[in-house]
Structure 1
Amino acid sequence: MFGKRNGLFFDGKITLEQGDPEFIELFSRFAYDEVVNEPGAQHPDLDDATRSMAILATLIGCQGVDAYEMMLPVALETGVTPVQVKEVVYQA
C-alpha cells in the first residue's frame, strides 16, 4: 500500500505533486529557498546541531511525527547526540 508506481500511489490515487503542482511549487520555494535564505537564518552563532535541536523541539510541539521521523537522522548527522535528543523530548 505504501510507495509509488508511475506517479500513482499503489491505491491508484495520484500524488500531491500531480494533483496540485502549484502547491508543491509554492511549498518548495518557501521551505527550500525563502526560509533558508532569510536574512539571519544562517547566523554564525547558530550551529547545525543547535538548529537541529530547535527543529526537533518544534516538530514535537506541532505534533509533526512524520517530519520528526525524517529529521531525527539528519539531526544525528549534524552532531546532536542521542542524549541531547532525549533531553529535547523530555523538555518538550
Structure 2
Amino acid sequence: MDWLERMNRAMDYIELNLAGEIELSEVARRACCSSHQFQRMFSFITDVTLAEYIRRRRLTLAALELQNSETARVGYPHQATSKLVEWSSKFTAKKPD
C-alpha cells in the first residue's frame, strides 16, 4: 500500500467521524504509521495541522447545515443564530465567545 492510499484511508476515517470523536491513534493506524509520523506527514502535505483541518471541516459542515435549515429559509434569523451556536458546539466541542 502506497502513502497516498494510506492517507486516503485516514481521511475517510476523519470524514466519517466529523460529528463525533476522532482519535489520532486510529487515524494514524489507518495510515499505517505512528501518531507523530502522521501529524508530521499531514502537516507537510496540507500545510495545516490535523487539528486545524478537523476544526475547519466541522465548521464547514455547520455552515452547510445552517444554510440548509428550514428556519433560515423562512426568515427567522434569531432561530438560525441559536442553531449556529448549537452546531458550533456540536462540531467544535466549544461554544463560541
Q: Taking structure 2 as the reference length, what is the TM-score of the superposition?
A: 0.26
Q: Which has the higher helix share?
A: 2
Greater percentage in strand: 1
